[in-house]
Amino acid sequence: MLESYVPILILLGVTLANAVGMVVLSHLVSPFRPTPAKLEPYESGMTPLGDTRERFSVKFYMVAILFIVFDLETIFLLSWGVVMRSLGWQGFIAALIFIVVLTVGMIYEWKKGALEWE
Shortest distance (Å) from residue 50 CB to other proteins:
8
**Residues between 15 and 44 that touch other proteins (CB under 8 A):** 15-16, 18-20, 22-23, 25-27, 29-34, 36, 38-44
Residue 47 binds other proteins, judged by CB under 8 A = no
Given 3-state DSSP classes, what are the helix, strand and coil percentages for the chain, each rounded to the nearest 5? 75, 0, 25
Binding-site size for other proteins (CB under 8 A) equals 97
CA proximity to 69, closest of 109, 96, 112, 117: 109
Residue 6 binds other proteins, judged by CB under 8 A = yes
Shortest distance (Å) from residue 74 CB to other proteins:
4
Answer for the pair 96, 87: CB distance below 8 angstroms, yes or no: no
Shortest distance (Å) from residue 106 CB to other proteins:
7
Residue 46 binds other proteins, judged by CB under 8 A = no
Greatest Cα pair distance in the chain = 70
Answer for the pair 109, 65: CB distance below 8 angstroms, yes or no: no
